[in-house]
Amino acid sequence: MIGLGEMGGAILRRLPPETAHHAALKMLRFGLASSKQESDPHVIAHRCWGLDFGNPIGLAAGFDKDAEAVSPLLAQGFGSIEVGTVTPLPQTGNPKPRVFRLSKDGAVINRLGFNNRGVEIIARRLARARPYRGVVGANIGPNKDSDNPLEDYRTCFTRLAPLVDYLVVNISSPNTPGLRAWQDQDSLSRLVSTLQDRRAGLSGSRGGSIPLLIKIAPDLDERSRGHIASVALAQNLDGLLIANTTVSRPSKLQSSARMEPGGLSGRPLFQSSTSLLADMYRRVDGSIPLIGIGGVNSGDDAYLKIRAGASLVQLYTALIYHGPSLISQIKLRLAERLHADGFENISSVVGIDAADY
């Protein structure tokens, strides 16, 4: 796990997944994890939404759900981290066991169900962590038993907007009943419009309008993809995250837990999520920044995501299997690929292969 070295990671992998996760977070929180010392290669610096990213590699939502270790995680070398998913009220999530390692496949299945401490506690923790030495986003969602999910999104958006650099609306987790219905065109348009109206009177942690992004599912048909792109363009959405975990099960999965219910993440998603990324890049004609997620295990993977249309890249599952050294390895390899291909910066590469998918 993050910041614990090869031996520490091996020990954690012997523990049940959630136990290992909490142990890693506590070690980060209490300063027992190492931090990166080297500067990022200048060629991988990137500017997006008026924010300066030292590098394009971000930690996806789901690791630090409760904003317990914001500063230590940034010190690991990420260009950005995303906390959450955050709901208005605390909730415990689904019954355990609910996280399963698929070690033979480099994957994980989870059915956590938005377990978190609630927006008030997380907001206070974010306030204490400022100013950030990197970019910090928050991923928001509704409580499972909410009578008014739209108001839940609005509540979290309002509370967290002044404390973070961008906000992500999660409408794609497979573990909250009814959540993916928000990807329907009319529902999504109403949701985005409501939050756009609300942010008119708010500013982000660095001033100015807070960027609003939507995280979509990988299991979208052609019609849904077109509707999401249409809403994103019509509503001037700031970005899309592509993509969340999948409910599908590739036939080549080998691990014994492969048929557990929940969302699958990790290496098996790379091809399908990258293809969706390129498709959405084409549908919005490159006019909206995209964050590529799904199966990134190396600098070459990150480079392919960027060439397919990602302005930024996020990962999580790969860290469970490869440890913290992966972050530096990805950044160095990404810089090597850019230099080898004659590019001076990330922005020159975004989307150049999108037409090939």
Active site residues: 173
- Could you tell me which of 88, 266, 190 has the C-alpha nearest to residue 181? 190
CA distances (Å), origin 249, targets 88, 118, 329: 32, 31, 29
CA 123 vs CA 65, 154, 159: distances in Å: 12, 15, 7
Please count the CA atoms within 13 angstroms of the CA of 259 that sit on its side-chain side. 2
Q: Closest Cα partner for 99 from 179, 1, 16?
A: 16
- Paired residues of 110 in beta bridges: 99, 263
**Tokens linked to 13:** 């992998």
CB-neighbour burial class of residue 153 (10 A; exposed 0-12, middle 13-18, buried 19+): buried
- In sequence order, the 6+-apart residues with CB closer than 8 A to the CB of 108 are 17, 99, 100, 101, 102, 264, 265, 266, 317, 320
| Cα–Cα distance, 238 to 217 (Å, whole number) | 17
Instruction: Assess contact for 9 and 15: CB atoms under 8 A.
Output: no
Residue 125: C-alpha distances to residues 80, 144, 146, 314 (Å): 17, 23, 24, 22
Beta partners for residue 99, in sequence order:
110
Q: Phi/psi of residue 26, each to 5°?
A: -65, -40
Measured CA angle at 277 (ends 274, 283), to 5 deg: 145
